[in-house]
Structure 1
Amino acid sequence: MRTIALAVAIVLVCAVSAEDANAKLKKCCSKLTKDDQECVTRFCDFDSISQTNVLNYLSTCTERGDTVGHMWDCASSRKDHSECCKAKGVEGSCLEYCTAHDGVPTNYLNYLTCLENFNEIRDCFKEEIEKH
């Protein structure tokens, strides 16, 4: 009986202490104290940024120092998400946004052509953070 109670307690502690992707993203962004706090507060959340508002995010935050790059690093974990992106249908030049290990891509013109893939790329970032 004690073994069962101990096992249940361990499972409950693990479940409570496990952070979801958004909590992990926000934890990373909380360390961005030198970056624009309006951008960090409004957009450092997987649920608050999508293909419908990413242009608003970029127009608001791109000119505010290194904020976009640092938030990108938090969201992407600076890992290569190419395989996940390909599985979700991202292709061509849009894959450069999936190879996030080199930081945020600077080819801003591609943002427009890759806008329809933004949610898939974001979801790959989120899935990676969720696992680790």
Structure 2
Amino acid sequence: MIRLQALAIILYISSASACFSFGCVGGIGGGMCGCPFGMCLATPPCMGRMCSARARAAKIYREDDKDLLALNTEDPNEHFLNCCGLLEVPIQCLGMCTFDGYNSSSVQSVLSLTSTCPFTALPHIHFCAARGADHTECCRAGGVTDECLMFCDQSPDTTNQLTLQHLQCVGSFDTMKDCFTEHALTEYYQSKQAAIEKFQKVQLD
């Protein structure tokens, strides 16, 4: 049933010639675009303030080391939620913006239209879970098939082409999420340690 509903969504979106991608949140004209798991059809160039928000959410901006340090030392769930805020994820979806809340059950609920969270929010949530990073190597090691690896690469400029075979990729969600979680925790503890060492150095100076 879920596969049929997801297929219906995809066919509807395709007929409307909408734009979908993890790589572009705000197309020409500033409108938001999206689809299940952010797969892409005829994506226009990424433009506007939403693209700036994606870059910031992915920690691409590096103007202020102090701000970057504060961002990286946030609790992973706090970081996740803040990213969703930057990308203007609807309030009814924010329960998915934690590593506990973003799970296969909640994703299937959105795709089957039994959730109040619109499926157009999934690309943004998935991007935030991945912290705008490329997890291809981890996903491949975990057994994610080649046709699904595109969902592991959440680099800010990534766009992907949609085919119906990608419906099976929902089955790899847990492996992808494991990679995202491991990355978030590793980055968190490394940044914490760096902050401690920096503080100790300042004290010694």
1:22-33 to structure 2, matched below 5 A, reads: 22-33=77-88
CA distance in 1, matches of 2:79, 2:159: 19
Q: Which residue of 1 aligns with 2:22?
A: none
Identity across the alignment (%): 32
- The unaligned stretches of length 5 or more in structure 2 are 1-72, 188-205
Paired residue for 1:47, among 81, 96, 100?
A: 100
Higher helix share: 1
Question: Which one-letter code corresponds to 2:107 in the other structure?
Answer: V
Change (3 A) 1:123 1:107: same
Question: Which one-letter code corresponds to 1:37 in the other structure?
Answer: I
Deviation of 1:19 after TM superposition, in Å, equals 4.1
Q: Which residue of 1 aligns with 2:186?
A: 131
**TM-score normalised by L of structure 1:** 0.67
CA distance in 1, matches of 2:170, 2:85: 27
Deviation of 1:68 after TM superposition, in Å, equals 2.7
1:4-83 to structure 2, matched below 5 A, reads: 19-33=74-88, 35-39=89-93, 41-58=94-111, 59=113, 60-63=117-120, 67-83=121-137
Structure 2 residue 133 is matched with structure 1 residue 86: no
CA distance in 2, matches of 1:84, 1:77: 14
Question: What's the C-alpha RMSD, in Å, of the aligned pairs?
Answer: 2.6
Verify the 8 A CA contact 2:84 2:125 in the aligned structure 1: yes
The superposition leaves residues 72-123 of structure 1 with CA deviations (integer Å, 9 ceiling, x where unpaired) of 2211122110111011111121111111214575637455301221011011
Q: Secondary structure, in 3 states, of the residue corresponding to 1:79?
A: coil
Verify the 8 A CA contact 1:69 1:103 in the aligned structure 2: no
**TM-score normalised by L of structure 2:** 0.46
Q: Size of the alignment, in residue pairs?
A: 111
Question: Which one-letter code corresponds to 2:95 in the other structure?
Answer: R
